[in-house]
Chain A
Amino acid sequence: MERDQAAELFEARRAPLLFYIRAIVGSLHGCEDVLQEAAMICLRKHAEVPDEAAFEGWIRRICRFEALKHLERHRRERPAGSERLAQLAERELTEAADEVADHRLDALRACLGRLSPGARQLVQLRYGDGHPGEEIARRLGRPLNTVYVTLCRLHKTLADCVRQRLAREDGHGA
């Protein structure tokens, strides 16, 4: 495969590959560096890929390998099996990348504005200030598992809101 073609295919898959890496690594920290490393390898070794059909599997293998390397570098003991999470949810991760594509972020912003004060506080602590769950639990005086459950429910609430909002806009535009 030519280098230009490999670069274009990589760019088109950037978001799902980032989520694939994150499914293995867990925390967001370092995932973009892993993706960048995968991009460099893609540009160096493009000639190994025979055609477009082979690209998807090839680039995922590179991402998996680089994500595992990242975990080994940053943890004394990495939990075995996190790559299995990425494999299991491969298709859903690609679909989720569409859900948070750039053109949907305006709807996401609008949905953030409709959250309850408590949910907004959680958003601020997690995504405005960048705190991990443990620190949020400490600040809010809640059990860590409750924070995790609330976060996942928040993601679902926002996903539903974005979907409804875009459906309404489509309806008005039709």
Chain B
Amino acid sequence: MAPEVQRRLDQLIGGHLDGALDEAQVAELAALLAADGEARRAFARSLAYDTALPRVAQRRQRPLLLRWWPALAAAALLMVGIGLWPGGSTPTGPQLEGEGALVVRAGGELDVAAAGPLRAGDLVRTRSATAVLRWPGEDTRIELAAGGELEIAAAGPAKDLLLRGGRLAVDAAHQQDGRSLAVRTDRLAVTVVGTRFSVSRTPAGSTVAVAEGTVAVSAGGERREVAAGGLAMVGGGGALQVMPATPAAGGATLVRLDPAAWQAARGQGWTGTLRGDGIAAAAVDATSERVEIPHKDGGYARLRPDLGIAIDATLAHPGTLAVFLVCRQADGRDWLGVYAVHIDLPAGRHQRTWSFGDLRVEKGAALAQALGARISGVAVGAWNRPVGLVVHSCTVGAPAP
């Protein structure tokens, strides 16, 4: 390709990537693409790299969305300077724990041991296992699920985290004396006083589920408070939706997997066998085991934002445990999707609870579209055989109306 043609092609491709071409320029670009395979490859290459590079380029630290942020940060610095900070020493960044997690720093990758305390600008990336961040001097714990990317925009007492992808769960100590915590995605920001909540980011949108306390969620210029049991979502349209919790008047169990339920059904249609005070999972294939109740097309319950999932299970060996909700559309006519919670666990007996916001899409429609769907099947699965999974109880419940 002649240099002047190449230059013109690059100009047009650049303009197209900005959505800035007029009709004549689009026609000119089309003519160049039609005439030359190398031009088509250059066009496709620039589209691909221009789409992929925002995922790998380092973002600059940005101030938080809240106006009082600079004042808080300044106050924290002042407290450090005059020795008022709890512990009397300059606080350092969070410690990272997690097998296989990586820290991207200054363009290079470090394992957890080499990285030491995390710094502003670090990017934490988890692979097949979760990673945990703990801040010195406070009981704040953040768990980044497998396959997640979290940028540390500010690492000190004024904590600012940007979830680039995946899911995290926050158990935050009370934020006072200059401490603060903000968690952002590209669509929303959560500011914290002291609470437990989880944040998920997928291409379909971002979700915040609050387990305890209250958080403030900001998106698209709007700021709303979300209390325990509530859920905030920002989907493709960019609007912030908040679903408050249904007032609880005692818990209601919607679906139960336990020995009593197994015995009541005499195990008909169940996957798994009764063993002592639990149901032993059956091997599904070379790597996984499962306990499952029979499918019910009409649904056992509706998928609702105040849904809770609780499990009590024993693993003979370390493995990944998951609870799956298989859903049909609200009218019951068609399959809609499979939604699941996952956790990596060591061997032993474990009790865990999750909320609606912890669910992620395994297959099918986005979670926001699944509200009101019929839960037609529930399964507890484990990977990394032999796990030796025994489910003592698994309940899907919600507050009574």
Contacts and interface: CB of A to CB of B under 8 A. Distances in A.
Contacts of A18: 51
Interface stretch (A53-61, A154-162, A165-173): A154-162
B58 interface: yes
A40 B205 CA distance: 14
B54 A36 contact: no
B46 interface: yes
Contacts of B364: 3, 7, 43
A63 interface: no
Interface stretch (B18-26, B65-73, B76-84, B264-272): B18-26
Which 8 pairs between the two chains have the least Cβ-Cβ distance? A148-B14, A113-B107, A27-B19, A26-B19, A127-B57, A92-B44, A96-B48, A152-B10
A158 B114 CA distance: 28
Contact of B30 (A25, A26, A84, A152): A84
Contacts of B335: 3-4
Interface stretch (B34-42, B167-175, B210-218, B381-389): B34-42
A80 B45 CA distance: 23
Interface string A71-100: 000000001111011001101110111011
B17 A151 contact: yes
A155 B51 CA distance: 11
A88 B40 contact: yes
Residue among B43, B59, B334 with most chain A CB within 10 A: B43
B2 to A, nearest CB: 14
B228 interface: no
Contact of A36 (B43, B47, B60, B204): B204
Given A27-B17, A100-B52, A152 B59 contact: no
Given A79-B23, A105-B55, A129-B59, A149 B7 contact: yes
A124 B58 contact: yes
B204 A100 contact: no
Given A84-B30, A105-B56, 16 more contacts: A23-B44, A26-B17, A27-B19, A85-B30, A85-B43, A92-B40, A108-B56, A112-B56, A127-B54, A128-B58, A128-B60, A133-B20, A134-B18, A148-B14, A151-B17, A155-B45
B29 interface: yes
Contact of B50 (A3, A25, A28): A28
B45 A26 contact: no
A93 B19 contact: no
Contacts of B56: 105, 108-109, 112, 127
Contacts of B47: 19, 22-23, 93, 96
B86 interface: no
Nearest to A37: B236
A19 B40 CA distance: 13
Contacts of B45: 92, 96, 99, 155-156, 159
Nearest to A106: B109
A80 B41 CA distance: 22
A85 B44 contact: no
A7 B363 contact: yes
Contacts of B104: 109
28 contacts: A4-B335, A7-B363, A25-B19, A26-B21, A28-B51, A35-B203, A37-B236, A40-B366, A79-B25, A81-B30, A92-B40, A92-B41, A92-B44, A93-B47, A99-B45, A99-B49, A108-B56, A112-B56, A112-B57, A124-B58, A124-B60, A126-B53, A132-B20, A145-B14, A151-B14, A154-B49, A155-B49, A159-B45
A89 B14 contact: no
Among A25, A27, A91, A96, find the residue whose CB has the most chain B CB atoms closer than 10 A.
A96
Given A32-B203, A36-B203, A85-B43, A123 B57 contact: yes
A97 to B, nearest CB: 6
Given A80-B23, A133-B14, A97 B48 contact: yes
A96 B58 CA distance: 23
Contacts of B53: 108, 123, 126-127, 158
Contacts of B15: 133, 148
A100 to B, nearest CB: 4
A88 B203 contact: no
Interface in A102-121: 105-106, 108-110, 112-113
A85 B27 CA distance: 9
